[in-house]
Amino acid sequence: MLSFVLLLLLISGAQASYYGVVFSYSVGELQPFGYPVTEDWRMSFSSCEEFDSWFCRGDCSPYPIYLVDESRGEWCQKVYIRRVSLYLNTYSDVYSPPNWIENRNAIVSSTYGWHLDLRNRSDINKPGSSPRTNIIPLVRVPSNCQRNINLLVSDPDGDDIRCRYAVYPECNICTPPSVLNVSSSCSLSFSPTNSSNEGPYVVQMVMEDFPRQTITLTVNSGGQQVATTSDSISSIPIQFVFRVDPAAPSCTEGEYLPRFLPPTPEHGAQISTNDSETLEIIVRAEATQAETTEILISGPAGVTKSSSGSGNFTLTWTPVASDRGLNKTLCFVVQANSSGSVYQSDLRCVLVTAVSHPSTTAPPLTTTNQPTTTTPLASSTPNSTPVPGPNYVLALDAMISTTLSMETDSATIMNLIKEELKRQGLPSDITLKLLSSRLVGVTTPAP
């Protein structure tokens, strides 16, 4: 078992007030040292100082950690982005953060489990990425108002996504909130309840992806396993706090509960921007019997918010490198205040994508479902002094890992190497010659 959540293991003990986690991972194209995996850990505590203290012992400056948002006096959410290179295998762990905030379902110690399946999939010829969703750390609703929370879910591989409450050992105490029901389609429903059920509840969920057809999963050593439409591939935790507030004078949207107005994008809208530009999203909301005071968000790194008056907000997103080409879920709610009571709008989420300029998009490498072999590549930069005849590229100390077999797919391997060398700047008419069963020679044409 390879544990690669090293910094998360620094969080232990029983002092901080935990508000939950949402995790996802994405897999890039095959590189010489394995598949690049980008992990997105967003964790929430009762303050930003508690996050820093628990996560990185008070100093988070050396780590790729971004502030997402905070609701002062309640919660702070930050996201930790980790990039690793992994080989075809599965990775699982169960992790215990600090204790939850006080809650009605009597859950004290927190635990969540995750499972990454990085075996080569026969349907997409590479490891798959996890499903994705998002939610703010604290969702609240008056006790007398019906509320449906429809999680916006997506999957880069087109898998079937299902949600459920966590079970041991995915959680320590797994009592689900009595006031909230979850469906396999990742929708949560709350029905009006009496005042005796008011208060915060811990929500511990798991989201899984299932293939839409029977596929074969292959590990580095060549071992295979068949996965049907009933077999989950990866599983990720979704944990947050759901608070039942005192009854509102009215449950009609736009009175006490804020109502979204145009040009606010609809739930599920897909918005893209060039990866070198900043995206702006306008959000408007009204509550005629209350004052709209703030917008709370949970989204990718680089999201900020501003207000230009009551009910008028602007969300801006400046993509970071790890966002390129990925659908990222941005969620928000608007809060209103009246006579000391706080009212929240529906949760609204959109998909934002940073698209590379066509001229800078690297061509993808494709592979087939074969046992992995490792092939050394002998090369270097061409001689800078023009000489007659071909220039030989020699002595680059590199290892290329591929799921192709050198014995049966040497031509395909050399073609992939050639395309990568061309992408790195070598001439388009370079030729490759197989020197032996393990070495590939590269030549460039004479100037």
Instruction: Please tell me the total count of domains within the chain.
Output: 3
Same domain, yes or no, for 46 and 83? yes
Alpha helices for 89-198 (secondary structure H) = none
Q: Does residue 269 share a domain with residue 219? A: no
Domain membership of residue 300 (yes or no) is yes
User: Domain range holding 170?
Assistant: 1-119+152-240
In a domain, 135, yes or no: no
Domain shared by 255 and 285, yes or no: yes
Is 34 a member of any domain?
Answer: yes
Q: Are residues 204 and 108 in the same domain?
A: yes
In a domain, residue 139? The reply is no
- Same-domain status, 384 and 437: yes
Q: Is residue 130 part of a domain?
A: no
Q: Which of 240, 271, 305 is the last residue of a domain?
A: 240
Q: What tokens were used for 442?
A: 């590269």
Residues 111 and 46 in one domain: yes
User: Do both 104 and 227 map to the same domain?
Assistant: yes
Mean pLDDT of the chain: 83
- The predicted pLDDT at position 16 comes to 54
Does residue 418 form part of some domain?
yes
Question: What is the rounded end-to-end Cα distance, in angstroms, of the chain?
Answer: 51
Tens-of-pLDDT digits for all 447 residues of the chain?
333 333 333 333 334 599 999 999 999 998 888 899 999 999 999 999 999 988 888 899 999 999 999 998 899 999 999 999 988 999 999 888 899 999 999 999 999 999 999 999 999 999 999 999 999 999 999 999 999 999 999 999 999 999 999 999 999 999 999 999 999 999 999 999 999 999 999 999 999 999 999 999 999 999 999 999 999 999 999 999 999 999 999 999 999 999 999 999 999 999 999 888 899 999 999 999 999 999 999 999 999 999 999 999 999 998 877 777 888 999 999 999 999 999 999 999 999 998 875 333 333 333 333 333 333 333 333 333 333 344 444 444 455 555 555 555 555 566 667 666 655 566 655 666 554 444 444 444 444
The full 3-state SS of the chain, as one line of letters, equals CCCCCCHHHHCCCCCCCEEEEEEEEEECCCECCEEEEEEEEEEEECCHHHHHHHHHCCCCCCCCEEEEEEECCCEEEEEEEEEEEECCCEEEEEECCCCECCCCCCCCCCCEEEEEECCEECCCCECCCCCECCCCCEEEEECCCCEEEECCCECCCCCEEEEEECCCCCCCCCCCCCCEEECCCCEEEECCCCHHHCEEEEEEEEEEEECCCCEEEECCCCCEEEECCCCCCCEEEEEEEEEEECCCCCCCECCCECEEECCCCCCCCEEEEECCCCEEEEEEEECCCCEEEEEEEECCCCEEEEECCCCEEEEEECCCHHHECCEEEEEEEEEEEECCEEEECCCEEEEEEEECCHHHCCCCCCCCCCCCEEEEECCCCCCCCCCCCCEEECCCCEEEEECCCCCCCHHHHHHHHHHHHHHCCCCCCCEEEECCCCCEEEEECCC
Q: What is the pLDDT of residue 424?
A: 59
CA nearest to 20, candidates 51, 54, 43: 43
Identify whether residues 3 and 23 lie together within a single domain. Answer: yes
> Does 256 share its domain with 189?
no
Look at residue 162 and tell me if it is in a domain. yes
Asked which of 205, 240, 275 is the last residue of a domain, the reply is 240
Identify whether residues 295 and 403 lie together within a single domain: no
Q: Are residues 276 and 386 in the same domain?
A: no
Query: Could you tell me if residue 126 is inside a domain?
Result: no
State which of 332, 361, 390 marks the end of a domain.
Answer: 361
Residues 207 and 60 in one domain: yes
Answer yes or no: are the C-beta atoms of 206 and 166 closer than 8 Å.
yes
Q: Indicate the residue type of 363.
A: P
CATH number of the domain within which 281 lies: 2.60.40.10
The one-character DSSP state at 169 is: T
